[in-house]
Amino acid sequence: MLKKISLILTFISFANLALASNNGYYQDPDVFKNLVVFVSEDDLWVVPKDGGDAKRITTLGSDIKNPVFSPDGKKVVFSSNHNGGYDLYTVDLDTGELTRVTYISSGYLRISDWYEPNTVYFVSDHTSAFNKESHLFKLDLDAKKIEKQSYGGAKFFSTNGRQKALQKIQYREFGYWKSYKGGATGDIWFDNGKGKFNELFKNEANTSRPTIIEGRIFFLSDKDGVGNIYSMDFEGRDIRQHTLHKDYYVRHFRGDNDSLVYSIAGDLYIHDIATDKSKKINIAFHSNKGKSDIKFPNAKNFIEHYSPHPKKDVFVQIIRGHVVVSHYFNGTSFEVGNKKYRYRIAEWAKEGKFIILASSFKESDCIHILDANTLEIKHEFTGFKFGRINAIIPANKADKFVVTNDTGDMFMVTFGKGGNEVSKIDATKYGWISGISWSDDDMHIAYSAMNSNKNAVIKLYSIRNHESSVLTEEDSNAWATRFDSKSKFLYFLSDRNYVPFTDYHDGRIFYPMWNKPYIMSLNRENLMPFYGASGALDVSEGDQEDDKKEAKSIINIKNSHRKIVPFPVPDMLYYNIYSSGDKIWFLMSGPQPNADILTRDSQGGKKTLQMFDFNKNKLVPIADGIEDAILTKNGESFLIRVGAELRLISSMPGGNPSQPQEITSSDYGADSGWVYNDPNLMVNVKDEWYKIYNEAWANQKDRFNNPRHNINWNEIYQKYKPLLEKVSTRLELNDVLWEMQGELKTSHAYVFGGDIKEQNNYTVAKLGATFTYDENEKAYRFERIYRGEPWNSRAASPLKYPGLKLRERDLLYSINNLKLTKEFTPEMALVNAGNDRSIILEVAYNNGQSRRYVHVNSLDKEYDLYYKEFIKTNGSYVAKKTDGKICYIHVPDMMPRGFTEFYKGYLNCYNKDGIIIDARYNGGGYVSSQILDFLTRHRIGVFDSKIMGKEAYPSLASKGNYVLLVNQYSGSDGDIFANAFKFMRLGPVIGKRTWGGTIGIRMDKYLVDGALTTQPEFISWFANTGYDIENYGVDPNIEVENTPNDAIEGKDTQLDRAIEEITKLVMENN
């Protein structure tokens, strides 16, 4: 009997061990009496407060946040992007019924409180003019009515029915920037039931989620170094620490009158308020974690690198870190290399006999050389520290290749029968080395090396002498080198061609087309091809033996910089040069508009590929509308990229079929050149997540630059790596990455995207209006129609289109023939009606007359519309208060959009007596110095004309009276702008301390599944602050808070103070 009991206990023990090993990653809990709800595997689960079996209550598999119990504990409300934008949903715990309760398709939505039976409070950027700003909304579940609360900005809210606690400000998720102390640290405002808010907790540390429980306000804070739960009384005194965690941050806490529940490092803890003790909730998590098994991704969406075979109809490519060899047209492909490795580069060598691979490890990249026939590893370089490899450039025939890395080093690698050898042959302390080209005889290497922050020189390395020589002047930028076939000439691109354009408004000179291709003679005996006796290059076959002899002795680099002439080609933007034999091609375009900073193609548009005809001295088109091109080794074809598609085209003019608008399955094949690129690549998701974690950590280690922080990189790596065992979805992995990078305690350590499950994109279309239901008319009225900018379709209500004759208070009966009722709202009828679709509205005048149908085109988003309303309202207010003497300009960011807003405003403002520059909510960028160029122009004279009137000198110089408005969300280059404005004494800075994040980034480190992480590397120093803006911000000269009380009264106290101060300045300076 004892034996049986012992055996049973053993089995139970093993069962528990197996169960314990199947932990999930638990987030966002809430507690009601003895039950806890939480998020894991992108779904909702419930578990007893004391632990036990967890039960899944949703199967959405989408981004779910902030589950909150109803006051009776029978339902849970949560936010999700299941249908596109974020909305609120409820789930009945008894029946499992899921109900969507809002139709706003918000970009940001977090639930604060469900205090009353039918009232949910949530914060959202719905109706906000800025993506950093959210407001508090009150949802009546019965009436399905959303009412915006008049408290101004809001990030969290709690009420017990009488008292209210409000958090106005927060930077991202608590714990994503650890030890944050900038201007956007969380605040706590409290209304004791008398209708007036007082600030209780002022910017001492990062603070989050003020929650009223049993006569106290509980909140998260890292004021003592690590995020924990604290509480204080209603006077902001008697601060007590309740949790005592020392390693990981406490996050996502909520509570009822008895308990607090929170997550920490993917686990859940319950805190008993009476005993003030915490314990881990032991959860039996029954899940097979199916989302972290295997997948077969669409390869075309994840191509990182590709290289055509020198002779055959195959190419090698890197797809999600795997090496795949594919035929162009017949669909065959196979994977090579080690699946456990994260490969980044693959190149053919020795005329296709070898494949050279670069793989990423923790400390440094490694190189593996495969035999292309047997696919066996012939040579490896795993012990040498190459750093992060940027490029591998094999020699034409020799057993050599060049390697460049991310820190400016260039290595020569020799392999083969004579042994393997690596030597550093050059390095630059500015940027990196690029544009590498081997001479035809493999005896010289031409390349471009940065010699300052702005310029690069062309250099030539001699294999025989092991020396590098500079070929171009150090005062011009040059790159993209190519030898001609006989090593007589070197082709390259250079910035020395500055084609001046004049700005229409202020006469400024700018250079939208600043580079051109050039040719350098490598021997003074060589006759430039454009100026021969026949006016063209001799492209005859000639005597090959004589050619070979000549090729060995032609290079003489003395005074090489004097032997440069431009190609006779139009002024354009040139991106790359390709050469084979005596042929040369250019990848080029006209001036491009600015692209989205998150897109990989920073040029923001398509390019054209053209061949230069030496006989006629002109360009001949090869292909249009492409993004990139690689010339095959034999010079007969290009492998081009068009969006996600690859195409093999002839390198000669007239040899390519026209490009269709959209590629269909019938377009693939040798006749068209479109590559059938669909390898059956199996990805082990869990293995890939470890690669992602390793690479994100390594990228930070390589680039992070903040001398004020001494980072223990191995400690961070080991601290967060075990959490990957709990992770089941890509969103959970991103959360781990955010927390890991948060240990840097530095700004701009971001995580974007990844192979996240696609959601239904059934977003709610927008009409730029609000609606109220009229019981008498059984129809909705247009309560408010936002005008915005009528000439800008993205920033104007479609209801204000000329000729529609629609006004506020007019009636709306149906949308797309769907009759509207009190229960079936306009927002419900507008689901999936976006993307500029034409919508039919049944409308009538406000008295019910002229009932008719009108067609409008919907908006996808209303941010631009709300923003234009914001600046129009403020501009009108300032003009009215100052009799038109003072002008108002808002600068939303320091990107091209922000500069455009400033420039448009400044053209109308510079002749006014004074200018209020509003940089509140400024999202940063890089154009602050350009704005300062205008503001620092001192008017010292005028040009006067009988007809045109007076014009200032310097051009567009104002009268010099400025004030600057900033707030806690003025950040990055917005921080820098505020500091420069203050340091240069351009005028008083008014508002609140700025965000405090000034370490710049490059957005180029994409991970295997398309995710992007950013590394803080460009630290800023200023004469008046040193490094101290980072993680602090810029103090205003005059501190003014826009309080919740101001918002209730409809006041913008900061703007009012700006008007007061600018008026004083004008009076003093006049």
pLDDT tens figures, 767-782: 999 999 999 999 999 9
User: CA 583 → CA 460, 490, 517, 626, 653, distances in Å?
Assistant: 22, 13, 14, 20, 12
Specify the DSSP element, H or E, that contains 448. strand 444-450
pLDDT of residue 10: 32
Q: Is residue 611 part of a domain?
A: no
pLDDT of residue 8: 30
Query: Beta strands 283-284 and 52-53: pairing type?
Result: parallel
pLDDT of residue 17: 35
Asked if 833 and 900 sit in the same domain, the reply is no
Asked if 906 and 941 sit in the same domain, the reply is yes
Q: Is residue 22 part of a domain?
A: no
Cα angle 772, 145, 795; round to 5: 60
pLDDT of residue 9: 32
pLDDT of residue 22: 65
Are 962 and 915 in contact by the 8 Å Cβ rule? The answer is yes
Question: pLDDT tens digit string along 924-971?
Answer: 999 999 999 999 999 999 999 989 888 999 999 999 999 999 999 999
Question: pLDDT tens digit string along 996-1009?
Answer: 999 999 999 999 99
Phi, psi of 681 (to 5 degrees): -85, 120
For residues 418 and 436, give the distance between their C-alpha atoms in angstroms, rounded to a whole number. Answer: 25
The CATH number for 979's domain is: 3.90.226.10
Q: Which of 240, 255, 270 is the last residue of a domain?
A: 255
pLDDT of residue 292: 65
Asked if 828 and 944 sit in the same domain, the reply is no
Q: Is residue 712 part of a domain?
A: yes
The CATH number for 692's domain is: 3.30.750
The CATH number for 839's domain is: 2.30.42.10
Asked if 986 and 912 sit in the same domain, the reply is yes
Q: Which of 217, 239, 255 is the last residue of a domain?
A: 255
For residues 313 and 326, give the distance between their C-alpha atoms in angstroms, rounded to a whole number. Answer: 9
Question: pLDDT tens digit string along 614-623?
Answer: 988 999 999 9
- 254-263 core/surface letters (b: 16 or more CB in 10 A; e: else): bbbebbbbbb
Residues lower than pLDDT 70 in the chain: 1-22, 203, 290-292, 362, 531-554, 594-605
DSSP 239: -
- With CA atoms as reference, report the closest residue to 340 among 771, 691, 864: 691
Q: Is residue 1055 part of a domain?
A: yes
Asked if 836 and 721 sit in the same domain, the reply is no
Q: Which two tokens stand for residue 708?
A: 């004020």
Asked if 985 and 848 sit in the same domain, the reply is no
**What angle in degrees, to the nearest 10, is found between the helix axes of 863-881 and 1053-1069?**
40
Structural domain of residue 205, as residue ranges?
Answer: 155-255
Asked if 950 and 1046 sit in the same domain, the reply is yes
Neighbours of 431 (CB within 10 A): 18
Asked if 711 and 833 sit in the same domain, the reply is no
Asked if 977 and 844 sit in the same domain, the reply is no
Q: Is residue 886 part of a domain?
A: yes
Are 851 and 813 in contact by the 8 Å Cβ rule? The answer is yes
Q: Is residue 453 part of a domain?
A: no
Are 91 and 56 in contact by the 8 Å Cβ rule? The answer is no
- With CA atoms as reference, report the closest residue to 208 among 259, 246, 172: 172
Asked if 914 and 1054 sit in the same domain, the reply is yes
For residues 442 and 931, give the distance between their C-alpha atoms in angstroms, rounded to a whole number. Answer: 50
Q: Is residue 196 part of a domain?
A: yes
Q: Is residue 133 part of a domain?
A: no
The structural domain count of the chain equals 4
The CATH number for 173's domain is: 2.120.10.60
Q: Which of 232, 255, 278 is the last residue of a domain?
A: 255
**What angle in degrees, to the nearest 10, is found between the helix axes of 896-909 and 928-935?**
10
Asked if 985 and 1057 sit in the same domain, the reply is yes
pLDDT of residue 291: 62
Asked if 936 and 1054 sit in the same domain, the reply is yes
